[in-house]
């Protein structure tokens, strides 16, 4: 009941409710993707705190990296982390929290989440992420108001990295 009330309150606040007749309701547009940037995130060796009732835990420190796209570029700041949960079903829940710094000096927080599972043949499936940005007011504050997904793949093995391509959902 509370979820329905909260959803109605959000729809009302965003002006998404109305009095149109049922036959006049248009379908929402299908989403499309727009490339925003790609990053190569450098990683340290993992730290395994142990198994919890939820599964095995692993912490991967983020040590740096770079990113670039049509309207934004810079470096991945050292000091972030990727907190992983290896679930009993073999899937891995990922939650990374880190900062990027644009080439014009703006620091932006990223919290990126995903679930990585193997397919029916035991091969790694595609890893899609959901990124939430916290940018200061100004040139990059558009990142705060949009929905983003990412596609994560292993990066350069010699660098111990992952590559993530971020897309804006339109």
pLDDT classification of 3: cutoffs 50, 70, 90:
low
- Distance between CA atoms of residues 120 and 30, nearest Å: 29
pLDDT classification of 158: cutoffs 50, 70, 90:
confident
Write down the H helix ranges in the chain: 2-13
Q: What is the DSSP letter of 124?
A: B
Q: Report the topology of domain 31-169.
A: Porin (2.40.160)
Name the pTM for this structure. 0.82
- pLDDT of the residue at 119: 81
pLDDT classification of 14: cutoffs 50, 70, 90:
low
Sequence ranges of the domains in the chain: 31-169
**Average pLDDT of the chain, as a whole number:** 90
């Amino acid at each position: 009941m509370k979820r329905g009330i909260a959803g109605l309150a959000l729809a009302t606040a965003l002006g998404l409710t109305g009095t149109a007749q049922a036959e006049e309701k248009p379908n929402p547009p299908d989403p499309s993707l727009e490339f925003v940037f790609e990053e190569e995130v450098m990683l340290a060796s993992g730290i395994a705190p142990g198994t919890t009732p939820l599964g095995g835990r692993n912490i991967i420190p983020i040590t740096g990296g770079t990113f670039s796209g049509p309207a934004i570029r810079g470096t991945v700041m050292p000091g972030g982390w990727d907190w992983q949960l290896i679930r009993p079903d073999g899937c891995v829940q990922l939650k990374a929290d880190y900062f990027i710094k644009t080439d014009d000096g703006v620091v932006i927080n990223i919290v990126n989440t995903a679930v990585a599972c193997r397919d029916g043949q035991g091969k790694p499936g595609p890893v899609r992420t959901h990124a939430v940005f916290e940018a200061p007011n100004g040139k990059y504050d558009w990142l705060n108001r949009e929905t983003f997904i990412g596609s994560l793949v292993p990066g350069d093995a010699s660098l111990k990295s992952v590559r993530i391509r971020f897309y804006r959902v339109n």
